[in-house]
């Protein structure tokens, strides 16, 4: 199993899917180009990544905003 970095761990807590949240977080970061690019996306754009639902996209967006402050 791959060692997760802190960003993947923090994102993983936002997922409430049936699949492994760590794998999902790693996939979202890969598909978005990384945390810096993910932070530039609006909720609708985040929802378009890896088939995320709007609820999860809103949670990610909120977490990114909190982290920015």
59: pLDDT strictly greater than 60? yes
Interval 2-57: pLDDT, tens = 555 777 777 777 776 666 777 888 888 999 999 899 999 999 999 998 888 899 89
Structural domain boundaries, residue 51: 22-68
1: pLDDT strictly greater than 80? no
Is there a domain that residue 17 lies in?
no
pTM for this structure? Answer: 0.75
Is there a domain that residue 13 lies in?
no
Is there a domain that residue 1 lies in?
no
Q: Are 13 and 63 in contact (CB under 8 A)?
A: no
Is there a domain that residue 43 lies in?
yes
Model pLDDT, residue 25 = 85
Closest alpha carbon to 13 in 61, 66, 59, 67: 59
Is there a domain that residue 12 lies in?
no
Model pLDDT, residue 19 = 67
Is there a domain that residue 7 lies in?
no
Is there a domain that residue 30 lies in?
yes
Into how many domains does the chain fold? 1
Is there a domain that residue 47 lies in?
yes
């Amino acid at each position: 199993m791959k060692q997760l970095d802190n960003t993947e761990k923090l994102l993983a807590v936002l997922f409430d899917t049936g699949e492994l949240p760590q794998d999902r977080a790693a996939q979202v970061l890969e598909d978005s180009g990384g945390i810096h690019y993910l932070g530039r996306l609006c909720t609708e754009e985040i929802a378009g990544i890896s088939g995320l639902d709007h609820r999860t996209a809103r949670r990610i967006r909120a977490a990114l905003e909190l982290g920015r402050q």
